[in-house]
Chains A and B, each alone.
Chain A
Amino acid sequence: MNTDCWLLVTADGWGGAFRIARALPGRLTAVVIGPRLLAEQVAAAGPDEVRWTDPGPVPAEAWGAALAGAAADAQPGVVLSTTDPAARVLLGAVAGRLHARLVPAAVAIAVQDDRLLVRRAAVGGETIETLRCTGPVAVTYGGDDVAAASGAAAPVTPVELAAAPLAVIASEPLAVASGLEDADRVVSFGRGVRAKDDVSLVQGLADALGAELACSMPIADDLGWLDKSRYVGRSGNHISPALYLAVGIGGAPQHMEGVRGARVVAAVNNDPEARIFRTADYGIVGDLYDVVPELTKAVRNLPSKELEQ
Chain B
Amino acid sequence: MRVVVVYKWARNPTDALVRSDGSIDWRNARMTAGEDDPAALAAAFAIAAGSDGEVLGLTIGDGDASWALARGVEQAWSVADAPSLVDNAATAAILAAAVRHLGEVDVVVIGDSRQDAGVPVALAGELGWPALVGLTSATTVDGRLQAARKVGGAAQTVLLPTPAVVGIAAEADVDRAPGMKELLAARKRPLTRLSLAELGVAPDDPESLGCAKPDSTPARVFAGEPAETAAQLVAALRSEGVL
Contact = CB atoms under 8 A, between A and B. Distances in A.
Nearest to B157: A170
A162 to B, nearest CB: 12
Nearest to A132: B207
A282 interface: yes
Contacts of B114: 234, 253-254, 257
A306 B125 contact: no
B134 interface: yes
Give the most central of B115, B234, B236: most A CB within 10 Å.
Answer: B234
Contacts of A281: 217, 219-220, 240
A225 to B, nearest CB: 15
A3 to B, nearest CB: 16
A97 interface: yes
B23 A102 contact: no
A218 B226 CA distance: 27
Interface stretch (A15-23, A117-125, A145-153): A117-125
Contacts of A174: 150, 153-155
Interface string B228-242: 011111101110111
B242 A94 contact: no
Nearest to A231: B172
B185 interface: no
Interface in A47-104: 59, 61-62, 64-65, 68, 83, 85, 88-89, 91-97, 99-104
B133 A242 contact: no
Contacts, number: 284
A131 B35 contact: no
Contact of B134 (A64, A85, A267, A307): A85
Interface SS of chain B: mixed
Given A100-B89, A281-B240, 16 more contacts: A85-B132, A85-B149, A99-B89, A101-B90, A103-B118, A104-B115, A127-B24, A128-B211, A164-B130, A235-B172, A264-B242, A282-B233, A285-B229, A286-B223, A291-B229, A298-B230
Interface residues of B, number: 86
Given A93-B121, A128-B22, A267-B219, A102 B89 contact: yes
A160 interface: no
A171 B155 contact: yes
A4 B43 CA distance: 39
A284 B86 contact: no
B184 interface: no
A130 B128 contact: no
A168 interface: yes
A125 B159 CA distance: 35
A155 interface: no
Given A102-B88, A133-B206, A291-B226, A217 B172 contact: yes
Interface string A247-281: 00000111001000001101100001000011111
A85 B121 CA distance: 9
Contacts of A101: 87, 89-90, 206
Contacts of A124: 13, 115
B154 A102 contact: no
Contact of B146 (A11, A169, A264): A169
Contacts of B18: 123, 126-127
A121 B214 contact: yes
A214 interface: no
A105 interface: yes
A93 B124 contact: yes
Nearest to B212: A128
A64 B124 contact: yes
B121 A92 contact: yes
